[in-house]
A and B are shown apart, each in its own frame.
Chain A
Amino acid sequence: NAGVMQNPRHLVRRRGQEARLRCSPMKGHSHVYWYRQLPEEGLKFMVYLQKENIIDESGMPKERFSAEFPKEGPSILRIQQVVRGDSAAYFCASSPSIAGLEAEAFFGQGTRLTVV
């Protein structure tokens, strides 16, 4: 059972381009969280998704950012028209559920986005 897989590990984009970050949760996990970590700062919650549903997007910037977790395939965090301030490490976590005993969250290695 592979862990949470994020790709790419490193992504360089020019200002104004689009960035697509992918996260494949662990097998059997239907809950996905995205976090952003700015240089020298802690992890900030962005969005929580279950299959085909956005449960909580209170941490997502109102513009340019969107996330999805389709029935098939990985979760995608999409950033349109990137700006230098979007440069950060983006981490994805998955868990099998929220309630109950088996709720440990596992993290991917992150995608480091650099906007030049």
Chain B
Amino acid sequence: KQEVTQIPAALSVPEGENLVLNCSFTDSAIYNLQWFRQDPGKGLTSLLLIQSSQREQTSGRLNASLDKSSGRSTLYIAASQPGDSATYLCAVTAVNDMRFGAGTRLTVKP
């Protein structure tokens, strides 16, 4: 059974810092991995999708990497802004399965 873990559970940084969020998964037989953002009381917004054959994806200030063999993904946020404050979740998709980590709650202080 796939287990997805996100570390840290919470992170607080001053504005302008670069930061890394971590996601690990136990079964490397995945089709893809997605990073989502969730604002308080809101739905989920897809940020980046990495296919199993890819190693990274970039969108603006976000860069996500995938190392399938070690069961790890990182989400790198450059030059963080207060508007980046949210919960970030990773989800892995495998056969008949899409599982989420518990999320990292990010606070960027002005």
Take A103-B32, A104-B32, A104-B34 as given contacts and tell me if A48 and B44 are in contact as well, using a CB distance cutoff of 8 Å: no
Asked if A42 is at the interface (CB within 8 A of a chain B CB), the reply is yes
Residue from the list B45, B51, B99 in contact with A101, Cβ < 8 A: B51
16 extra A-B contacts, CB within 8 A, seeds A98-B96, A106-B46: A33-B98, A35-B100, A42-B101, A43-B89, A43-B100, A44-B100, A45-B100, A56-B96, A56-B97, A91-B44, A95-B93, A98-B94, A101-B51, A105-B46, A107-B43, A110-B43
What residues of B have a CB within 8 angstroms of the CB of A45 in the complex? Answer: 97-100
Q: Determine how close the nearest CB of chain A comes to the CB of B71; give it in whole angstroms.
A: 18
Residue of A nearest to B49 (CB): A104
Asked if A55 is at the interface (CB within 8 A of a chain B CB), the reply is yes
Take A42-B100, A91-B44 as given contacts and tell me if A107 and B36 are in contact as well, using a CB distance cutoff of 8 Å: yes
Asked if B42 is at the interface (CB within 8 A of a chain A CB), the reply is yes
Q: Determine how close the nearest CB of chain B comes to the CB of A30; give it in whole angstroms.
A: 13
What residues of B have a CB within 8 angstroms of the CB of A110 in the complex? Answer: 42-43
The list of the 7 closest CB pairs from A to B, nearest first, reads A42-B102, A109-B43, A107-B44, A43-B100, A104-B49, A110-B43, A42-B103
Asked if B91 is at the interface (CB within 8 A of a chain A CB), the reply is yes
What residues of B have a CB within 8 angstroms of the CB of A99 in the complex? Answer: 31, 95
Q: Is the interface of B mostly helix, strand, loop or mixed?
A: strand
With A and B bound together, what is the CA distance between A10 and B64 in angstroms? 34
Q: Which of A35, A43, A55, A98 has the most CB of B within 10 A?
A: A43
Residue from the list B31, B102, B103 in contact with A103, Cβ < 8 A: B31
Complex interface residues of chain A between 36 and 55 (CB less than 8 A to chain B): 41-45, 48, 55
Residue of A nearest to B48 (CB): A104
Take A55-B96, A101-B51 as given contacts and tell me if A108 and B43 are in contact as well, using a CB distance cutoff of 8 Å: yes
